[in-house]
Structure 1
């Protein structure tokens, strides 16, 4: 018999699983009068009238909270996931972009988004329990109209671990989602503020309604006003966005693979870096706009959403691949570091090439400037959370369950539990050579650096002829790392005598010039990935008004004559690292919850391993580490040299004795190439040097072309 409690119990510094659990996905069998977890939806009133109907837009929010808190036995702290996908998605993103690429829409003026509307005046109020007793599971769990293979709020079970420990779990998809008003506006202050408003409601500073009409007010009477935000990817981005507003009540964030700057998610130093057909923010905005499936909307209302998304595309097309403050500034969250008032535990996979590791490093640096507490957990995985409830597995973090670590962290910041959370190391990192070994650092910044310098004279010419180089998405890293070709030059060190650990951002400096290419015709663009015609206009000088995205790609590899076991992605999109089960039901969730399988990453046996990479545009010689330095571009002239400073994605990697570093410079990466162009680049071999941050003093190394 489980011993339940009516109030949270903390032992060994963490909340214990002492609350009963009732599944919220049981449909007709869900009985709100007996459920141990109280569930209901509210509609938080925003300050905006994005859709111009004269009323403030409402934001749908799903509340899950232990019954005991709603009954008044204690005040619950909230764990909040702001995830624009959770209320449904439009899975037809690629065909949709083709359908609307040449379609005519009414002109949408972004200034209209700023129209003000008076707040509603509630005609009555309802308590959380009264509202929950009237709620049905179909309010939050039903077929996703935009994706028939999924359910709305499919992340409903992701945080059950915290419910049985007394935390409330709050989920919202924000503006533009089914059940909410407004538009999904990726990387905007509107998107950010939607979730800030939810925090304000939880803190007692904002009105929410029990109904879509906005007439009956409901307060979070069960809330202690303290909120933590967490989630992965898009849901890991919003905690950083909201943290930079300084909103009251947000005590800490645990962003997992979050974006700190939307420009450098889609682009890098003036060049497109993200997956070819998803570089327009309007693609993601449409994908998350489940409001399209609201059957109560009129044709005009649907057309307004579409017109907004089309204008979002047109606004980005003006930028090309360059940074533009008006378009990208609101999503450059790191610039608002001075407003941060909460702590952060940042989690990132070092093999994540969806949300690049540069994002976590920029988050970290912003937090250091803010003076707030920041810790980082870096694992060897791809774009994952260390516990994956939807896939029934988890990995250990230095011998501990990931959710136990987060539990300790948020127990400290939300319930003032005196534990060791703030004594965590500033950096906890899983080593690349032994995934069962974790190392700690007092700071991400290192006191030492190693210089890699070319010993070659003369020049090298590289081109974009994939076929001649025998290169495709499936073999790109292997082809680039193991030999030079017409398409790449590989600069290699001698084998290392002792292990060297790289930590931070590698800075490559070189001089290069456009050698050849049809400038007048935009280097004869091709569409290798069958992108829609609108997206393809990103590289059209007639649209952007300038030469753009003449790529230079830099990569750092670990290579060895003998094959070695290592962890790396195995799919062409670089998003998958398989896991193997170490112990079935080895991740204990506690209480009435089933356990997950304990897993580790599957290794491959190869004589190369990608360490880090970067994308840059020859047209942006001023571009550096900070996203905003990519604002100015030039027109290239054949034979005219420029100096480039390319900053590779942040990394932590140990090169073992007998291994060499290969610094590779190429033109295009077929995996992330929207527009395939025909050009060649001449490189001054003697100019090539790289500054590599390392954890201890080491000698500088010479590199030769191989």
Structure 2
């Protein structure tokens, strides 16, 4: 590289403040030390703010003109005057006008001339003074862009990719939406990093999967890797709406008038049956990971029940096979940005990441531990690789206990003829099941180890293979892993999904009257629990033979299916027990099947393959001495035969305590009446607090804003505690809501007060918020 190139001059200018410490004394005649960090030497107040419209080459709205996407830019004026080309930090989003970004739901703002004034999030405030440009892109069909929203499809991805091409001189742009005056990116050196949470991070994944040149790194936060897996879990519907509803939420009024054909294609191509169609294939970025040229810094909440960690797990494995440079943070939160759960460390780490991959500074970040994992609220550990080194798939077997419905989990396989039976009850979910693991209930089959003698760490994604005999033509299965024992965790079921927002602020970079760099401080929102659900997976049993298409089941016939569990990293401490629950509908997390089946598990052909650090030997060390397997059920169910191909393994067995509890339909001792106990969850577009109070239309159809401090509203019961206040559902990846005054939740209601009836009508759009 030419030592006096604009690129070198830019880095040198950004490092002026460090020159005294980076240069040897003149007498030593030493060469300058390598730069370690960019510094805030440019004025944010005097930065250039401008908008351009980039030609995508598409005509999604069928108006006879090529669609142009709006691009708002803020960049250092001094670098432009000196002829220094700068790298770009880019966030492409559909949310800049409908919903807002970040914990405070910031939206773009403009002056009377239409020039950009307010840029959401801290990226511009912090990085522009350090020699970067910040570029915020309105996806096609949103805010000030032409075209149509196709929810992660070719239009979404191409509208963001076109901007990367323009920054590298390969695409055209104009100074206005309809004019002919060209706009060039001569101020950019082409080096681009994409960042964003939820939908925004998903677009970063999709653009990287095109292999576009110039995209040097991406930072996807709580991002989708396959849109099918956002809406379905192996055929089981996760939401009662499809991508067309999300498109309606984010599209501009202009797009709503012109994009009816696109909406109809979304509806036809995404059938509620859960069949995997060509539409979903076009929105699956995982098979294209081999094309990724960019490094990847992924961040995900391990308790994210909106964009579940299955997305991270499959994307991560594909990137690993492709040899992509990568780093990961795994938090205990739900769908939360790291700026709000680990702020100072996040800003410092992101700064070093961009300095390395966009500025070319050798600061060593690529040689540091690959993974940061939150072990307790605010307490983090690191790993050289992730999943952790020496992780190996280890098989555990469920088998009957001394009381029906309370089984054992260990390395000893079940005896021939062993079985357990449960009935799908869509009123109950994982919180209810876990709270009753030591009590037989008819809505689940639970299996626990004995108290562990050593810590047992699971790192990565597991699988549960189930052989079940249904009594109906449709059936759903849930598989859940539980850490049975007391702990203090982030309350991911609370309004902040593990964070609490305060009223005081701290500042990160430069600001103006129209764009403050100061943000509300957050702190961990914690809960004391008696059990922690740390991984789960769901499936439609009808997809047992073909993952792309479900088929009706024959009652009385056994079917075998492998349920994929969400990726994560969890340590079950010594003294705690590890549990596996197999049940039907996980209330609030998947939609129920058409029927209410009774399912009989053939335990000789049911097992869990778990990613244990240390493999089978670690399990043998953690489990007490083996206990003999009970000799099968007292009355073998019809259709359950002997095991086929079930291997044995050495190691400890398990013993579990038993008890008695009320059956399904009785009041829940922790959470109240069955309907009220059904966990609410971030549903994208329809409020669905419980099956008895199902609203009749989409509850979110307009702009959304998030209150600074979310008031009490419907929430899923936290794991192992009494029920918290309710919280309404969300409005798509990255969105949530807080109860308005008319939601049916009394003002000042507390968990100790009687639970109010669930809301049965749409929540006011003014109460919704995108996070």
TM-score of the aligned structures, taking structure 1 as reference length: 0.75
Q: Does 1:552 align with 2:477?
A: yes
Pick aligned residue for 1:383 from 335, 352, 363: 335
Q: How far apart are residue 553 of structure 1 and its match? A: 0.8
Q: Report if aligned partners of 1:375, 1:424 keep a CA contact under 8 Å in 2.
A: no
1:13 touches 1:420 (CA, 8 Å); kept in 2?
no
* Counterpart for residue 423 of structure 1: 367
Which of 172, 181, 185 pairs up with 1:216? Answer: 181
- 1-structure distance, mates of 2:496, 2:265: 31
Q: Is the aligned partner of 1:323 residue 2:248?
A: no
Residue 260 of structure 1, CA deviation: 0.9
Tell me the distance in 1 between the aligned counterparts of 2:69 and 2:51.
10
After TM superposition, list the pairs within 5 Å mapping 1:92-111 onto structure 2: none
SS of alignment partner, residue 619 of structure 1: helix
Where does 1:233-632 land on structure 2 (aligned, <5 Å)? 233-273=198-238, 276-277=239-240, 279-290=241-252, 292=253, 294=254, 302-317=256-271, 320-324=273-277, 326-388=278-340, 394-395=341-342, 401-432=345-376, 435-444=378-387, 446-456=390-400, 458-466=418-426, 471=428, 476=432, 478-479=434-435, 481=437, 483-515=439-471, 517=472, 519=473, 550-560=475-485, 563-571=486-494, 576-579=497-500, 589-590=508-509, 599-622=522-545, 630-632=547-549
- Whether contact under 8 Å (2:122, 2:509) holds in the other structure is no
Displacement of 1:404 in angstroms is 1.5
Structure 1 contact 90–289 (Cα < 8 Å) conserved: no
Q: 1:570 to 1:338 in 2, by over 3 A?
A: closer
| 3-state SS, counterpart of residue 363 of structure 1 | helix
Q: State the 1:422 CA deviation.
A: 1.2
Give the SS at the match of 2:141.
coil
SS at structure 2 position matched to 1:401: helix
Quickly say closer, same or farther: Cα 1:138–1:503, change in 2 above 3 A.
farther
Q: Is the 8 A contact 2:426 2:584 kept in 1?
A: no
Identify which of 598, 620, 633 aligns with 1:680. Answer: 598
Could you say which residue in structure 1 is the equivalent of 2:138? 173
Go from structure 1 to structure 2 and tell me whether the alpha carbon gap of 1:252 and 1:214 turns closer, same or farther (over 3 Å shift). Answer: same
Q: 1:51 and 2:5 equivalent?
A: no
Give the distance between the partners of 2:553 and 2:38, measured in 1 at CA.
Answer: 60
* Equivalent-residue separation in structure 2 for 1:622 and 1:9 (angstroms): 60
Provide the residue aligned with 1:33 in structure 2: none
Can you give the 5+ residue segments of structure 2 that lack an aligned partner in the other structure?
1-9, 19-34, 102-109, 401-416, 621-650, 659-771
Matches of 1:482 and 1:250, distance apart in 2 = 52
One of 4, 8, 16 as aligned partner of 2:14? 8
**Cα offset, 1:632, TM superposition:** 3.5
Shift of 1:601: 2.1
- Return the alpha-carbon distance in structure 1 between the equivalents of residues 555 and 395 of structure 2: 30
Structure 1 contact 476–669 (Cα < 8 Å) conserved: no
Q: Tell me the distance in 1 between the aligned counterparts of 2:257 and 2:12.
A: 50
Deviation at 1:387, TM superposition (A): 0.5
Q: Deviations over 1:153-181 (max 9, x none)?
A: 77265542112222111011211113211
Quick one: structure 1 residues 5 and 559, their matched pair in 2 at CA, closer, same or farther if it must change by over 3 Å? Answer: closer
Distance 1:13 1:588 in 2: 23
TM-fit CA distance, 1:478: 4.9
Structure 2: distance between partners of 1:448 and 1:366? 18
Is contact 1:227–1:249 with CA below 8 Å preserved after alignment?
yes
CA, structure 1 residues 180+343, in 2 after alignment: closer, same or farther (shift >3 Å)? same
Q: Structure 1's 499 and 370: CA in aligned 2 closer, same or farther, altered over 3 A?
A: same
Q: State the Cα distance separating 1:415 from its structure 2 match.
A: 1.4
For 1:658, the equivalent position in structure 2 comes to 575
Q: Is the 8 A contact 1:431 1:439 kept in 2?
A: no
In the other structure, the counterpart of 1:638 is 555
Match of 1:667 in 2: 584
How big is the shift at 1:488? 0.8
Once residues 654 and 282 of structure 1 are traced to their aligned partners in structure 2, the CA distance between those partners, rounded to angstroms, is 40
The separation in 2 between residues aligned to 1:228 and 1:137, in whole angstroms, is 31
Distance 1:271 1:59, change over 3 A: same
* TM superposition shift of 1:334: 1.1
8 Å contact 1:20–1:164 — kept in the other structure? Answer: yes
Partner Cα separation in structure 1 for residue 433 and residue 49 of structure 2: 48
* Higher helix proportion (structure 1 or 2): 1
Matches of 1:689 and 1:505, distance apart in 2: 15
Shift in alpha-carbon separation, 1:178–1:412, aligned structure 2, 3 A: same
Question: What displacement does 1:424 show?
Answer: 2.2
Go from structure 1 to structure 2 and tell me whether the alpha carbon gap of 1:688 and 1:351 turns closer, same or farther (over 3 Å shift): same
The structural deviation recorded for 1:659 is 0.3
SS at match of 1:377: strand
Aligned equivalents of 1:286 and 1:580: distance in 2? 30
CA separation of 1:169/1:212 partners in 2, compared to 1, >3 Å: closer, same or farther?
A: same
The Cα offsets for residues 201-224 of structure 1, whole Å up to 9 and x where unpaired, read as 111111100111131101112111
Larger RCO, structures 1/2 (Cα 8 Å, 6+ apart): 1
The separation in 1 between residues aligned to 2:451 and 2:115, in whole angstroms, is: 57
* Matches of 1:620 and 1:387, distance apart in 2: 40
Provide the rounded CA distance (Å) in 2 between the counterparts of 1:243 and 1:272.
28
CA separation in 2, counterparts of 1:154 and 1:452? 51
SS of the residue 2:542 aligns to: coil
CA contact (8 A) 1:428 1:441 kept: no
For residue 338 of structure 1, give the secondary structure of its aligned residue in structure 2. helix
Give per-residue Cα distances to partners, 1:553-612, cap 9 Å, x unaligned.
11111112xx332234234xx97223377x966x66245675656654222112111111
State the 1:73 CA deviation.
Answer: 4.4
Residue in structure 1 matching 2:40, options 1, 14, 17: 17
Could you tell me how far apart the structure 1 residues matched to 2:68 and 2:565 are?
Answer: 41
8 A Cα contact 1:192 1:238, kept in partner: yes
The verdict on how the C-alpha distance between 1:17 and 1:401 changes in structure 2, with shifts beyond 3 A counting, is: farther
- In 2 relative to 1, CA 663–329 (structure 1 residues): closer, same or farther, beyond 3 Å? same
Q: Does 1:61 align with 2:71?
A: yes
Moved more, 241-250 or 7-16: 7-16
Which whole-Å deviations, capped at 9, do the CAs of 1:445-476 have from their partners, x for residues lacking one? 64434332123253222223356xxx379x54
For the residues of structure 1 that align with 2:384 and 2:12, how far apart are their CA atoms? 40
The structural deviation recorded for 1:496 is 0.6
Q: Give the SS at the match of 1:503.
A: strand
Q: Is the 8 A contact 2:302 2:332 kept in 1?
A: yes
Whole-angstrom distance in 1 between the partners of 2:433 and 2:114: 47
